[in-house]
Structure 1
Amino acid sequence: MKYTDVDRIYQTLPRENIPWNSTTPPDALVGLVQNGLIQPCKTIDLGCGAGNYAIYLAGLGFDVTGVDSSPTAIRIATEHAKQKGTTCRFIVADLLGDLHEVTETFDFAYDWEFLHHIFPDDRETYIRNVYRITRPGATYFSVCFSDSDPQFGGTGKYRSTRIGTTLYFSSESEICNLISPFFSIRELKTVNIASRFGPHRAVYLLANRR
């Protein structure tokens, strides 16, 4: 997805019509916290959007920074956190750039259904950035659309959505090959994910920085 498209979406669509903008944290993320696999620590939410999940974690004692390329999304996230009385930092930055705006390193990094917005030619750049801003041993959690899912009327790797974006649907082997040079994989599996617009299949990754 082009970054300009993201900001256009936040500017023009009602928040309830933005597919990924859910105020309820996903079960997979909640499960990591409730099972003690992730405990309060310095955390970065990559592609944080309106900041819903960052605010959820901050409410549990996590020290959270959210990053998104959309200035409109970051403005919404900042206002939302203020309304909730929650302390989060939100930064506008290009996640495929040099991320000079991010001056800290983190114990936990996650991107929730964000990686399918990044096409294969740019994915190594992105993962190198995740590697660079995390500490040795840090946990990385990622969930993205699986190519085994029938979403958007097809079985191809590239699929167009009803809001005018194009997404890339991944296999487990692709994610493994992308991640393995930088992170040790703890879990890699295809799971069913519930959402406001119906269930879908996704590749679930839990890894540790080398």
Structure 2
Amino acid sequence: MDHSTPAGKFIVIEGLEGAGKSSAIALVKQFLTELNQAEPVCTREPGGTPLAEKIRTLVKEVNHDDPLCDEAECLLMYAARAQLVANVIKPALANGRWVLGDRHNLSSLAYQGGGRGMLPLVQAISAATLKGFKPDLTLYLDIPPKVGLARAANRGALDRIEQQAIDFFERARNTYLTLANADDTIEVIDASQPMDAVHRDILSALQRRLTA
């Protein structure tokens, strides 16, 4: 008889700045807690381990004396992600815990791949570091960049990535949508709607995907 612990599931929330990820994560966390009678392990990227959090600081801060080049940004993102997957996400899943992620690999494909114009490089690094590991379900909160950035600006000072030109975010959004259309584990949620409508659509997707 097999007494091994059933593997948990990995659920990720994605979206551009100002898409409403924070409120969506709180909603999904509550849903998963009620579904499994246990809180999920919550992670964020870049970050989620002591070393990965140090990398997050490097990626987010503006350094005029030593500007972060695009290739270094990409490599740092995957260094942080590799640490998080190896030391937090995979062990939790193996122990039957569910994991709720604030961003994952789709962010790098969209931001560094689409936004920075380095998609072949990002795909190669992704394949080498993740070896096919991916979320069971990704909820992509889609919003026009101008709308999202206006929301983000109302929260306070923008970080280094949030300060990119609007064209950067347009390319990132287009990449998000292209990848979502080709992957049936990604659900696109219209995040430009009022919050109650967004949350209704999120709960509908979770019910359909996780309780059927």
* TM-score class, shorter: 0.3 to 0.5
TM-score by length of 1: 0.39
TM-score by length of 2: 0.38
Between 1 and 2, higher relative CO (CA 8 Å, sep ≥ 6) is seen in: 2
State which structure, 1 or 2, has the greater radius of gyration over its C-alpha atoms.
Answer: 2
